[in-house]
Chains A and B, each alone.
Chain A
Amino acid sequence: MNTALILLISSLIPVVNNLLGFIFKAKATLAQSAEKTPEEEAALDAEIAKLKLNPEEWEKEQPL
């Protein structure tokens, strides 16, 4: 019983963690009130570059 509950809770942690991470990032993005600086642009481009993986590579690498 306890093991099953621990498994259930631990399976929910990544999902909640992903959602919270997304909400904080979305909040920061929507608070943007000026054009990005060159440094911020470079950081965004670097993040986008990490997404250049096909589904099979993505499963192996898990970059996110």
Chain B
Amino acid sequence: MTKHIRQFSIPFLAIFIVGCATLQEGQDPVVVRSEQTTELAMNTFKLINKTEYDSYAAFKAVDAESAGAVRTFVNKVRNNQHAWLESARNLTKAYKNNRTLDNERTLNTALAVLSAAVAEALKYLAQIQEKTAWMSRDLQLVFAGQYQLEKR
């Protein structure tokens, strides 16, 4: 149970707590949700790009194998994020110009790719958070131990 709670990442909790706003009258939910998904995916990719880069050395020191797996995933994101997001944007624009069921289906396929990548990114973010938090707690114990020794 505790392990499951620890694996709940802060970004996921934030999204869960905030929830989606009610749409204004006359607005197309397909367009609004598509724009939200694209923007949220872009910010999630930025977050994992930066967090992985900032914490790589610490993460590698704690668990080199997991750090390598996360780096492989993040490099996949770095290589594909622009294509995924651009595809979603182009299909959103196409749908806005011609609101057919076919265009909506194609757009939903692109959004599903983005959502899957975001879900995986959140899973890896939780892993980074768990491992680096473990390290800082461990370091705190080391510092606390040193402090006790100094006092004696």
Contact = CB atoms under 8 A, between A and B. Distances in A.
B15 A44 contact: no
Interface stretch (B48-56, B62-70, B105-113): B48-56
Secondary structure of the B side of the interface? helix
Contacts of B139: 4, 8
A34 B50 contact: no
Interface string A34-64: 1110000100110111011111001100101
A22 B43 contact: yes
A51 B47 CA distance: 12
Interface residues of B, number: 50
A54 B78 contact: yes
Interface in B18-69: 18-24, 27-28, 31-32, 35-36, 38-40, 42-47, 49-51, 53-55, 58
A34 B85 contact: no
B18 A27 contact: yes
B77 to A, nearest CB: 9
A6 B31 CA distance: 47
B143 A4 contact: yes
A19 B10 contact: yes
A32 B27 CA distance: 11
B72 to A, nearest CB: 10
Contact of B40 (A26, A58, A62): A26
A26 B43 CA distance: 8
A51 B40 contact: no
Contacts of A29: 36, 39-40, 43
A55 B78 contact: yes
Contact of B10 (A11, A23, A53, A58): A23
